[in-house]
């Protein structure tokens, strides 16, 4: 069996033999190239707008101004405190959401009775925007870390729960038959077949959850915190300091992209089947 590396080697050899031109870099990095052009183009329009006075710099700042602010703001201790506070809340919430989503989701998908019983409840709760529960949560737990983490969990748990349920429900019959043929017990079928075959579903859910968790943490910090990037954005925007507010927004966006990339990496590395 030829391995992939030798297949690539072979392709190269063939190309050399028939003297094909190499693939130009504009073609190889096609989507990356145009993606960068798109982002830079938007920033350029923004800068031009602000410089010509078409957009009011008081409200929209400008890319150059945001960049300059970022260089001094991001290393500062004040910003660090906000960032760490947000990240702690985010990670704690996501961790609880993953554990809860998998712990409840897999059995809910595996046992038909549990699924039939709780499906309507989950659908109903999922349908209500969690923001609607904000005052209720504040009543329950006050304004503090607990209430913020609850919001993050609430916002992040559903994609995980629903995907774990889906994963446990759609286990391939062929695989279950293998387990049964080796006279596996129901518990063994669950742990050796349903659980591993659900992992791709759970990771896909986690990727959706990350984005929702970031929304959750920012919303929570708007309303019930004196720390965190959400609080910081609110504070700065209210005092018309747009540049620092935009810096925080960009940091949040980049952090989200990094987290999602990490999950994708884990997926490719450990679920290569």
Partner 1 sequence: MSKKIVTRNVSVIYRGKHDREPVLACNGIDLVVEEGAFVSIVGPSGCGKTTILYAIDGLLSINGGEILVNDKRITGPGIDRALVFQSASLLPWRTVWGNITYGLKLHNGLDQERLAKIQSLIDLVGLRGFEKRYPSELSGGMQQRANLARALAVDPDILLLDEPFASVDAQTREKLQIELTQIWQRTQKTMLFVTHDIAEAVFLSDKVVVFSARPAEVRETINIDIPRPRSLETKLSPVLQGYVKRVWNLIDAPS
- 90: which 2 tokens? 């985010």
Binding-site size for partner 1 (CB under 8 A) equals 21
Minimum CB distance to partner 1, residue 223 (Å): 43
- Token pair of 182, please? 């080796």
Spatial neighbors of 60 by CB under 8 A, at least 6 apart, are: 46, 49, 50, 242
Q: Which is nearer to partner 1, 77 or 272 (CB)?
A: 272
Tell me the closest approach of the beta carbon of residue 91 to partner 1, in angstroms.
27
Closest CA to 159 of 126, 186, 182, 131: 126
Residue 157 C-beta: closest distance to partner 1, Å: 25
In degrees, rounded to 5, the angle at the alpha carbon of residue 234 between the alpha carbons of residues 233 and 238 is 115
Site for partner 1 in 127-186 (CB under 8 A): 172, 174-175, 177-184
- d(C-alpha 181, C-alpha 184), whole Å: 7
Whose tokens are 């760490």? That residue is 84
φ, ψ of residue 105 to 5 degrees: the values are -65, -50
Residues 199-228 that bind partner 1 (CB under 8 A): 199
Nearer to partner 1, 25 or 273 (CB): 273
Q: Which is nearer to partner 1, 201 or 246 (CB)?
A: 201
Candidates 192, 207, 211, 260; binder of partner 1 (CB under 8 A) is 192
Q: Is 272 near partner 1 (CB under 8 A)? A: yes
Residue 91, token pair as written in the block: 């990670």
In whole angstroms, the minimum distance from the beta carbon of 4 to partner 1 comes to 9
Cβ proximity to partner 1: between 27 and 173 the closer is 173
Of 7-36, binders to partner 1 (CB under 8 A) are none
Nearest approach in angstroms of CB 19 to partner 1 is 33
In angstroms, what is the minimal distance from the CB of 94 to partner 1? Answer: 24
Q: Pick one of 1, 17, 58, 112: the residue that binds partner 1 (CB under 8 A).
A: 1
Task: Closer to partner 1 by CB, 93 or 179: give it.
Answer: 179
Type and span of the H or E element at 237: helix 229-238
Dump the DSSP string for 82-143: HHHHHHHHHHHHHHHHHHHHHHHHHHHHH-HHHHHHHHHHHHHHHHS-GGGGHHHHHHHH-S
Which residues are near partner 1 by CB under 8 A?
Answer: 1, 172, 174-175, 177-184, 188, 192-193, 196-197, 199, 271-273
């Amino acid at each position: 069996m030829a391995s992939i590396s030798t297949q690539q080697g072979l392709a190269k050899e063939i190309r050399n033999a028939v003297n094909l031109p190499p693939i130009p870099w504009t073609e190889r990095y096609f989507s990356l190239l145009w993606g960068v052009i798109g982002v830079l183009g938007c920033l350029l329009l923004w800068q031009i707008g602000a410089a010509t006075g078409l957009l009011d710099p008081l409200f929209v700042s400008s890319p150059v101004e945001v960049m300059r602010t970022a260089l001094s703001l991001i290393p500062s201790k004040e910003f660090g405190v906000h960032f760490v506070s947000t990240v702690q809340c985010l990670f704690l919430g996501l961790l609880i959401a993953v554990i809860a989503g998998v712990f409840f989701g897999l059995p809910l998908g595996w046992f038909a009775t549990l699924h039939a019983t709780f499906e309507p409840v989950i659908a109903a709760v999922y349908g209500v925007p969690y923001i609607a529960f904000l005052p209720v949560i504040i009543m329950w737990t006050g304004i503090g870390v607990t209430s913020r983490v609850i919001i993050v969990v609430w916002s992040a748990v559903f994609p995980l729960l629903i995907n774990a349920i889906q994963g446990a429900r759609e286990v391939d019959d062929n695989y279950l038959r293998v387990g049964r043929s080796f006279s596996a017990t129901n518990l063994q079928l669950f742990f050796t077949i349903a659980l591993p075959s659900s992992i791709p579903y759970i990771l896909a859910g986690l990727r959706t959850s990350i984005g929702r968790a970031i929304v959750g943490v920012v919303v929570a910090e708007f309303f019930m915190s004196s720390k965190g990037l959400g609080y910081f954005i609110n504070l700065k925007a209210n005092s018309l300091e747009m540049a620092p507010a935009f810096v925080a927004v960009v940091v949040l966006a980049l952090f989200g992209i990094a987290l999602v990339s990490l999950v994708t990496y884990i997926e490719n590395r450990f679920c290569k089947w």
